């Protein structure tokens, strides 16, 4: 009988979430605090956690969950599922005459290929909740890919990613080999010109400054991730992973960091709306006419010197935040049935924040405002302490809200936020 595509075995113990698990950065990092992680490791050096809890990620994925996730991906977006083998180019793994289906994937897996589901959070509520929690904490879009590899296999050759990743080893074992980055914090994206498509921008203008081939023949680190373990890799670190005597299942959480280059680009275009000189076209014939080229260089220097003093960092960052929040709220923010939850809110009610759109607190014009997705709630600035508490506290009792609000005001505020879809009631105790 042929072996089947396997994941972690589902047991009665795995059916229950480990007591320490929560879809949050704190839970993932174990004893390392998020503050220490961000200060000592983020964008600097790798971090490996040997947790010793094989069932830790069971709430994210199980055998039944894996089967359902892959089936959902095949039904909703077959292009999200692919087979990978390090000894074959990706185009050799695809059959142009046949859309991927369960039989094709099973055959490829049994032949030694790794199954990958891109953007797996689209097909799993629990993985999506983890993404939303991490996006709120780190202010970066998050993407999760799933990798299921058979024994004695390697899905991808040695390479480096252009985004930071957390590797969550769900089941099985995988041996990783790491080498230092050939380029520090490589760019993943540049905005394409109007006459250029995104694929060409990435191929010719991103990779031009980054090596296309990497050497991992003498890795500086080699270790095996066990079920429940975690690995953080800053973008740029060269790595490869192999299975040995058994299969492996892991999730790769990718962080699409917003860079200073992104903010500067926003600031330049904001300034261009105010400065006509920036909106002028380049001198006609500049690509081939030396005189036009000289004119361009002189004006470029003058504009650069003037821009240095005129860019508005606050406006640029605000625009980045607004775009980020709008983009992340397109797939969340429904409030179906929330009016009934809101009516039940009492001063002793325990409420918990929904996993939904990003949140932002700001003050101005005598008001304090909490924005979440495309919704916003404002109160007089004197009551801003309550909104700041809500921003940093995912779960609380209504009566715990700080500041000069009385109990009626606390209930009114939480009812409004519940009606808008920010909270749901965990328990309502009127006694």
Q: Decide if 140 is inside a domain.
A: yes
C-beta separation of 414 from 423 below 8 A: yes
C-alpha radius of gyration, the chain, whole number: 25
- Using left for φ > 0, alpha for ψ between -120 and 50, and beta otherwise, residue 112 falls in left
d(CA 395, CA 409): 18
67 vs 53: CA distance, rounded Å? 23
Which residue among 257, 272, 288 closes a domain? 257
Q: Is residue 240 part of a domain?
A: yes
In a domain, 151, yes or no: yes
Residue 324 maps to a domain: no
Q: Residues 73, 212: one domain?
A: yes
Angle between helices 407-419 and 384-392 (to 10 degrees): 50
CA 4 – CA 340 distance, rounded (Å): 46
Q: Are residues 77 and 96 in the same domain?
A: yes
| 185 and 211, same domain (yes or no) | yes
Looking up tokens 């990718």 gives 254
138 touches 68 (CB < 8 A): no
Count of residues in the chain? 431
Based on the domain organization, do 104 and 212 belong to the same domain?
A: yes
- 273, 385: one domain: no
**DSSP code for 25:** H
Q: For the chain, how long is the longest CA-to-CA vector? A: 84
CB atoms within 10 A of CB 97: 5
Burial class (CB in 10 A: 0-12, 13-18, 19+), 189: middle
Q: What is the CATH number of the domain that holds 341?
A: 3.90.930.40
User: Same domain, yes or no, for 35 and 181?
Assistant: yes
Q: Are residues 82 and 194 in the same domain?
A: yes
Dihedral sign for Cα atoms in the order 275, 279, 282, 284: negative
228, 277: one domain = no
Cβ contacts of 389 within 8 Å, gap of 6 or more = 396, 400, 401, 402, 403
First to last CA, the chain: 61
Is 323 contained in some domain? no
Q: What is the pLDDT of residue 254?
A: 98
Q: Are residues 405 and 308 in the same domain?
A: no
**Domain check: are 46 and 176 in the same one?**
yes
- Boundary (domain end) residue, out of 240, 257, 274: 257
Q: What is the pTM of this model?
A: 0.85
- Is 19 a domain residue? no
The pLDDT assigned to 99 comes to 74
Q: What is the pLDDT of residue 210?
A: 83
In a domain? residue 187: yes
How many CA atoms lie within 13 Å of 245's alpha carbon, on the beta-carbon side?
A: 0
Q: Report the pLDDT value the prediction gives residue 92, as an integer from 0 to 100.
A: 62
Order the strands of the 81-84 sheet from edge to edge.
47-49, 230-233, 164-172, 248-255, 142-149, 114-117, 81-84
Blockwise average pLDDT, block size 10, the chain, 431 residues: 40 44 88 96 97 94 87 94 86 67 92 96 92 91 96 94 97 96 92 90 86 88 97 96 94 96 94 94 92 93 90 91 80 71 92 81 92 86 93 92 94 92 78 42
Quote the pLDDT of residue 276: 94
Are 225 and 369 contained in the same domain? no
- DSSP E strands, 173-259: 174-179, 221-225, 230-233, 238-242, 248-255
Element (H, E) at 363: strand 359-364
Residues 290, 393: one domain? no
| Residue pair 425/344 in contact by the 8 Å Cβ criterion | yes
Q: Which two tokens stand for residue 430?
A: 């009127």
Element (H, E) at 340: helix 338-343
369 is in which domain, residue-wise? 332-427
CATH number for the domain that contains residue 29 = 2.60.120.650
Strand-pairing partners, residue 176, are 223, 241
Domain count, the chain: 3
| H helix or E strand, kind and range, residue 224 | strand 221-225
Contact 8, 170 (CB under 8 A): yes
Asked if residue 206 belongs to a domain, the reply is: yes
Residue with tokens 């209930």: 411
13 is written with which tokens?
């113990």
């Amino acid at each position: 009988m042929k072996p089947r595509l396997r994941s972690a075995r589902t047991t009665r113990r795995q059916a229950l979430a480990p007591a320490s698990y929560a879809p949050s950065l704190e839970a993932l990092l174990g004893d390392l605090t998020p503050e220490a992680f961000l200060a000592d490791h983020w964008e600097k050096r790798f971090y490996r956690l040997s947790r010793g809890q094989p069932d830790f990620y069971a709430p994210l994925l199980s055998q039944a969950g894996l089967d359902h996730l892959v089936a959902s991906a095949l039904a909703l977006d077959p292009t999200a599922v692919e087979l990978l083998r390090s000894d074959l180019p990706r185009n050799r793994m695809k059959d142009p005459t046949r859309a991927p289906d369960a039989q094709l994937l099973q055959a490829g897996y049994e032949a030694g290929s790794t199954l990958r589901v891109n953007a797996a959070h689209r097909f799993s509520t629990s993985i999506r909740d983890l993404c939303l929690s991490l996006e709120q904490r780190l202010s970066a879009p998050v993407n999760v890919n799933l990798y299921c590899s058979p024994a004695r296999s390697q899905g991808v050759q040695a390479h480096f990613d252009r985004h930071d990743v957390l590797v969550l080893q769900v089941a099985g074992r995988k041996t990783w080999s790491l080498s230092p980055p050939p380029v520090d914090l490589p760019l993943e994206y540049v905005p394409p010109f109007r006459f250029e498509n995104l694929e060409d921008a990435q191929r010719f203008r991103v990779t031009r400054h980054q090596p296309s081939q990497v050497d991992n023949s003498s890795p500086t680190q080699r270790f095996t991730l066990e079920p429940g373990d975690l690995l953080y890799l800053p973008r740029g670190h060269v790595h490869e992973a192999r299975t040995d005597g058994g299969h492996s299942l892991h999730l790769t959480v990718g962080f699409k960091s917003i860079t200073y280059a992104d903010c500067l680009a926003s600031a330049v275009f904001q300034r261009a709306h105010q400065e006509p000189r920036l909106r002028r076209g380049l001198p006609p014939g500049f690509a081939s006419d030396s005189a036009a080229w000289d004119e361009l260089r002189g004006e470029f220097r003058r504009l650069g010197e003037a821009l240095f003093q005129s860019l508005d960092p606050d406006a640029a960052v605000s625009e980045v935040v607004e775009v980020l929040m709008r983009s992340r709220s397109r797939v969340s923010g429904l409030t179906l049935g929330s009016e009934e939850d809101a009516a039940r809110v009492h001063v002793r009610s325990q409420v918990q924040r929904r996993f939904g759109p990003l949140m932002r607190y700001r003050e101005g014009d005598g008001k304090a405002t909490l924005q979440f997705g495309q919704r916003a709630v404002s109160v007089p600035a004197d009551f801003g302490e309550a909104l700041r508490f809500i921003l940093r506290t995912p779960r609380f009792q209504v009566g715990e809200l700080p500041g000069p609000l009385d109990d009626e005001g606390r209930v009114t505020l939480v009812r409004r936020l519940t009606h808008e879809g920010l909270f749901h009631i965990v328990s309502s105790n009127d006694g």
